[in-house]
Amino acid sequence: MHFTSFAQSHRGVIRSKNEDAFLALPEQQVWAVADGMGAHSRGDYASAQVIEVVKQHLANHTHHSPLYRTLRGAFEDANTQLFSHSQQRMQGKTMGSTAVALVLDGAEYYFIWVGDSRGYLFRNGRLEQQTRDHSRVNVLLDAGVITSAQAASHPLQHEVVRAIGVKADVQVEVVRGYWQAGDIFLLCSDGLTEKVSDFEIEVSLSSNNINAAGQALMHSALTRGAGDNVTCILVK
Q: Whole-angstrom Cα distance, residue 208 to residue 188? A: 18
Worst-scoring range by mean pLDDT, 11-25, 76-90, 103-117, 137-151?
137-151
- The model scores a pTM over 0.85: yes
- Sequence-distant (≥ 6) Cβ neighbours of residue 201 within 8 angstroms: 120, 122, 127, 186, 217
- CB-based contact 177:121 (threshold 8 Å): yes
Burial class (CB in 10 A: 0-12, 13-18, 19+), 3: middle
Give the mean pLDDT of 138-158. Answer: 74
Going by C-alpha positions, the residue among 233, 116, 132 that lies closest to residue 184 is 233
The architecture (CATH level 2) of 5-235 comes to 4-Layer Sandwich (3.60)
Residue 17's Cα: distance from chain center in Å?
18
Instruction: Show the CA angle centred on residue 212, arms to residues 47 and 201, nearest 5°.
Output: 65
- CB-based contact 190:228 (threshold 8 Å): yes
Question: Helices 198-205 & 210-223, crossing angle to 10 degrees?
Answer: 150
Summarize pLDDT for 19-37 with one digit per residue, the tens.
Answer: 999 999 999 999 999 999 8
Summarize pLDDT for 40-75 with one digit per residue, the tens.
Answer: 668 999 999 999 999 999 999 988 889 999 999 999
Residue 90, SS3 per DSSP: coil
Give the residue extent of every domain in the chain.
Answer: 5-235
H/E run at residue 95: none
Q: Whole-angstrom Cα distance, residue 106 to residue 127? A: 23
